[in-house]
Structure formats: structure tokens, C-alpha cells
Structure 1
Amino acid sequence: MRLPGPRGHMSSALVSALRLPPPPQPALLVSGGTREAWQDDDLQLSLWICYELRMRGFDDVATGWEDHPALAQFHAALETRWETALRSLTEVTSPVALSDEGLSELRGHHAFWQPRREMRSVLRDIQGDAYGTRSERTHSVLFTVTLRDLDPFSGVDEMPAPTLALANALSLFGLHRRLVGALVGFLTAVDTIGGDPFAQLLPVQCPPEDVRLGFTACHELHARLTQHVHASLQAGRTSLRCRRPPVSSRVNVGC
């Protein structure tokens, strides 16, 4: 899998930097967006790239970036902004009853972000040991290996910010042991929006407020995604982003 096309200043600087060997002091800065975090394409894509580099990697990233301190600091700053936004969410958006065309498009979004059925056994291990003896790093590695063993996400260039937001919420909750309750809540909410059932994985030890964080995030972000799909189709356009033009070695003269 190759790096996706950038969508703003942050993701452009990130993609450009990752394609070259890291300099002594990489300039990767988190800038404040003008849109809410869940619909900020630049933020969501930058965060998604950081997660994917950590979990599966990209074919065109130069050696030396995966564990680079500057990238880790950049990623942590993105996560802080995203977690703050998730904690401020409340369930105020009603999902839209979509037409057959809308449901067909929604399935494309779901295929990108929803946890796969194959994740069930490892997620049970993660949640069952949430308050056990595993370290934060071991917990993170277990979640990472789970995703790495699955087929890599495809079509990221077609996915809008609301879809990336759901994928990034799942990664944030899954990669941090302190947020395992939010992971449980998120996966429990997947049951109610037509995904594979994960509710039976709910461990009683999880603090209710943590579970509520993940449950609310999944429900609210998904409701906003359905509204995005509906509004796009009502406007006569697809809810997906435009496909990237194919790379060609030919030089076209004239039109």
C-alpha cells in the first residue's frame, strides 16, 4: 500500500517528509483546522497515516520514520486533539433513513472502517486482560498485530473525513490500554448499526464513563456519516471523494 494523496498543509508536509529519509530535525507541526475535527480532512488523513504507518506500513515510506521521535511527537499531538474532540461529543445527531442508493454507498464506507469478524478472538484477549498484567506496549502490539493480519484498507483516497474519523476512533481506543473501556463501548455500539456483534465481549470491570465515551463516539460519528451520505446524494453527487487520477508516464500535449 502506498501513501495517499494529501488533503491540506499537515498531510502534505507529512506525506512529503515520509518519502525522504528523516532529516536531523523534521518540521512536523500540528496546525489548528477551521473545521470540526470529525470533518477535518487534513487532520483525519494525517492521523490515519500515522496509525497505518505504525500498524501496517507503506511501501513508499523511507527507512527510519517508523520509530522516529519527531513523528511520535507529531502523532501524539494529533491524538490529543482528536481525543479531546471525541470526549466533547454528545449523541445529538439522528441517523438518516437512507434510500437503497444511500445504503449501497454506506456499505462502502462501512467496509473501510468497521472491525472485521476475524478480530473477535484477539479483541476478547485485549479486553479480558484490560486490568491484568500486560503492559501498555504489549496491549498496543496485540491490537496492531490483529489489524496487520487482515487485508489492508483500500480506497482511502475515496474516503471522506467522517469515515476516517470512525477508523481513527477505533485505532485510538484500541492502541491505548487506558482507553480499553472506550474500545468496548465503541464495539458494543457497532452491534446497533448493523455490524458484527461484539457486545458479548463487554467485561464488567470497565468504568461506565469509559464505555460511554466509546459508545457515544461510535453512534454520533456514524449518525453524522449517514447525514453526509444523504446530503451528498440529495445534492446529486457521491458521498465518496473523487478517485485519484491514474499515474501515467505519457506527456499529453493539448486537450
Structure 2
Amino acid sequence: MKLPSPRGPVSDAVITALAQAPHAFTAGDAGSDDDLHLSLFVLYELHYRGWDGVDDTWEWHPGLLGLRARLEAAFEAELRRLAVPEITGDVPHTLTAMTSETGGSSLSGYVRRRATYEQFREFATHRSIYHLREADPHTFAIPRLGGAAKAALIEVQIDEYGAGVVRRMHQEMFKDTMSALGLDTTYGAYVEVVPWQTLANNNLMSLFGLHRRRRGALLGHLAAYEMTSTGPNRAYGNGLRRLGGDEKATRFYDEHVEADAVHEQIAAFDMCGSFCAAEPALAADVLFGARCALALEDRWAEYVLSRWEAGESSLRE
């Protein structure tokens, strides 16, 4: 990916520094959500595929790690306000109840029935930030688990990665959808134009994935994703068919309808249930991760819908 344009003083300091060889680095605190989440996204990407022209030794630079810790503290404080964790003795059933609740904006319903072709392209543009690296953030949890929870996570991830067949990888399937919509399939091509709400959804996965102490929250996040996937993806596929999408274009969504109906049970009971049985002290973290996933997804959906209903684009100029 090419480094994006800054959105505030901190992202400006980070992006300017990364364009040079590693050196002593300091920066202040983010003054806006845009600045905060672009800065975090840029820093987190150093642990994924990196940035064009950026020295790989920046990944573990003490100055960047110190800044990242401050930004993460601000992000986590926001999450604690949005998603208060609950302690329970039955995590799988609590997850089931939590993800069955109706609330927030029905973006999937809008996409299925009303979205224009251009709005669907915008929707896919937002989602490309995650779907072109789908499953990668949750894979960080594999070496941090053992026993039944680890086996269950691997079972889910094997499907996400197409059982080792490139064309069946969900990341690759989404490229077909993007190609059908005339979008650029280059990894991270649209970081520049998505709003901070989209970046925040992606930063949440990295926040949980890159810290071993947040492994419970990462599993809860994945469970919430899998347990709320089937219905929306059916709606997205039908919405794209309504707009003329063929079988290849909708394959990504149709695959998720089938696969995630199985994944949701594995994620809730085999993965999170086994994890909480092995590490009961982290049960509240699992639920916190799930609540964060749902809260940030609702916030993003409300933003997108509010722009569309106002007759405006949901993307940055």
C-alpha cells in the first residue's frame, strides 16, 4: 500500500517519519477521531503487509510503539464507554442472546431493497479494507491458545483461507466482487477515501489481535462476526443480484451464508465455550470483545445510512 495523506498532526508526524529511515521519533496526542484512527491504522499495518517504501525495521521502533500505546489507551477508553462488559457463567448462550438482539441501523436491509449501484460500490469500498485481508487479524490468536479452543479457531480459519486453495480464499472471492463492480482490487487501495468509522472497525481487530492479553476479546469479536453474518450476507448477495450481479460477483456473499451458519456454532460453543472453561477469568473479556464488535459495526452502519439518506456519499472526497 502507498502511505495515505495525513488527517491531523499525529498521522502527519507518523507518515512523514515512515517515509524516512528509522530515527528518533516523538509525537503528541491525536486531536480528532480521524487523526486517531488513521494513525493507528498506519501503525498497525506495519505488522501486516507494510507500506510501500517504508523500512521494515520501523515495525518494532520504540518511539512508534510508545505512540501506539497512547493511541490505544484513548481508543480503549472509548470502547469502555461504548461496550460495558458483563460477567456470566454461560458465555456461549450469552453470546447467542447478544447477537440475536435487533437494534441499530439495518444497513443490510437497505442494501437488499434500496441501494443504488453506486451505493453498493461504496459499500464494497468500505468493506475492502477488511475483506482483502479477511481472517488475518484473528489468526494472531492461534499461537496464543491451546486445546479445544485452538482447534475450533483453526477449523474456522481453514474455511476462511479456502482450505489452502487460492481461488476459494475469502480474500480472493471478494476480489471477484470488486472486479464485477469496477473497483480496484489492490490491497488497501481505498484507505485514503474511507472515513474513520471504517478504520475504527479494522483497528478494533488489530487492537485485540496484536496483544496476547486481549486474546479473549479477540475470540469474542470473531464470534460476534460469525454469529451475525448469515442474514446480512444473504441480504447483500440478494441486493447485488437485484442490481445485476452474476454468480461470480455474489459468490463471496453466498459462501458466507453457507459457511457462517456452521461457524457461528463452532465460534460460540467450541471456541469461546472451551476457552472460557480453560481460562474462566477471561470470560468477561470474551463478552467485551463481542460487544465492541457489535457497537462499532452499528456506529459505522448508522453513519453510512445517514449519508445515503441525505443524498450524499459515505466516502471521503
| Cα drift, residue 236 of structure 1 | 2.0
Which structure has the higher relative contact order (CA within 8 Å, separation 6+)? Answer: 2
Once the 2 structures are TM-superposed, how far is the Cα of residue 186 of structure 1 from its aligned partner?
A: 0.9
Residue 221 of structure 1 deviates from its aligned partner by: 0.8
Contact between 2:18 and 2:54, CA under 8 Å: does it hold in 1?
A: yes
* Contact residue 11 and residue 46 of structure 1 kept, 8 A: yes
1:233 is matched with which residue? 308
Of the candidates 195, 216, 224, which is equivalent to residue 181 of structure 1? Answer: 216
1:122: how far off?
A: 4.5
Distance in 2, Cα, partners of 1:110 & 1:80? 26
Deviations 1:89-136 (A, max 9, x none): 13896123423235553333223225866659947834643999xxxx
Q: CA deviation at 1:163?
A: 0.7
Runs of 4+ residues over 4 Å off in structure 1: 114-124
Correspondences of 1:144-223 after superposition (within 5 Å): 152-191=187-226, 192-193=228-229, 194=232, 196=256, 197=260, 198-199=263-264, 200-201=266-267, 202-204=271-273, 205-206=275-276, 207-223=282-298
Distance 1:62 1:188 in 2: 35
Deviations 1:22-56 (A, max 9, x none): 33x3222223x35xxxxx11100000000001222
What amino acid is the match of 1:65?
A: W
Which residues in structure 2 correspond to 1:5-84 (within 5 Å)? 5-23=5-23, 25-31=24-30, 33-34=31-32, 40-62=33-55, 64-84=57-77
User: RMSD over aligned Cα, in angstroms?
Assistant: 3.3
Distance in structure 1 (CA, Å) of the matches to 2:35 and 2:137 = 31
CA contact (8 A) 1:106 1:226 kept: no
- Given the superposition, is the C-alpha separation of residues 211 and 103 from structure 1 closer, same or farther in structure 2, using an over 3 Å criterion? farther
Distance 1:183 1:114 in 2: 17
Q: Structure 1 stretch 231-240 or stretch 194-203: which is displaced more? A: 194-203
Report the residue type matching 1:227 in the other structure: E
Gaps of 5+ in 2: 85-101, 150-160, 162-168, 173-186, 234-255, 277-281
Separation in 2, partners of 1:234, 1:14: 35
Map Cα deviations across residues 72-98 of structure 1 (whole Å, 9 max, x no partner): 111111112112221221389612342
Structure 2 residue matching 1:154: 3-state secondary structure: coil
Q: What TM-score, normalized by structure 1, do the two folds share?
A: 0.74
* One-letter amino acid of the structure 1 residue matched with residue 2 of structure 2: R
2:127 equivalent among 110, 116, 119: 110
Residue 182 of structure 1 contacts residue 211 of structure 1 at CA under 8 Å; is this kept in 2? yes
| Count of residues in Structure 1 that have an aligned counterpart in Structure 2 | 221
Identity of aligned residues (%): 34
Higher helix share: 2
